[in-house]
Amino acid sequence: MIKEKISEWAETTTLLEGHDRLEYLMDLAKKPTTLTSERADEKLIPGCISKIWVDVDVVDNTVFVKYDSDAMITKGIAHVIADCFNECTINDIKNIKNEDFHALGFVQLLTQQRRNGLGNLIEIIIKKAILQA
């Protein structure tokens, strides 16, 4: 399910180039986030220039990701990543790697430090979900 969602998002995001892709991410960032009142230090993603907060709940083997960020592009990227994981199963998550998200085309938009933050976001979502299983 996650790989299918990644493919769906990749169809949209890879059609856009440069500035258009950044504008699209900023438009996504304008949508309400799901972690607006729970910005706690233990939910911060390390290694990211911008602040990204993420929390993961697992209910009946189904994963739910809540997120927020203080930067527009980062918030747009977090929106896409959270959507890819939302409502998947723990088994889906166990078969996912950071590299699976390269199809989204975000890596070439980001500096090295921001790439590290993106990788940490994905890894922490996976880790938090598996720990709750």
Q: What is the pLDDT of residue 47?
A: 83
Cα separation, 117 vs 59, whole angstroms: 27
Q: Note the pLDDT tens digit of each residue in 13-31.
A: 888 887 898 899 999 999 9
Output helix, strand, coil percentages for the chain, rounded to the nearest 5: 60, 15, 30
Using CB atoms within 10 Å of the CB of residue 67, give its burial: 0 to 12 exposed, 13 to 18 middle, 19+ buried. buried
Q: What is the mean pLDDT of the chain?
A: 90
Counting residues of the chain whose pLDDT is more than 90, the rounded percentage is: 68
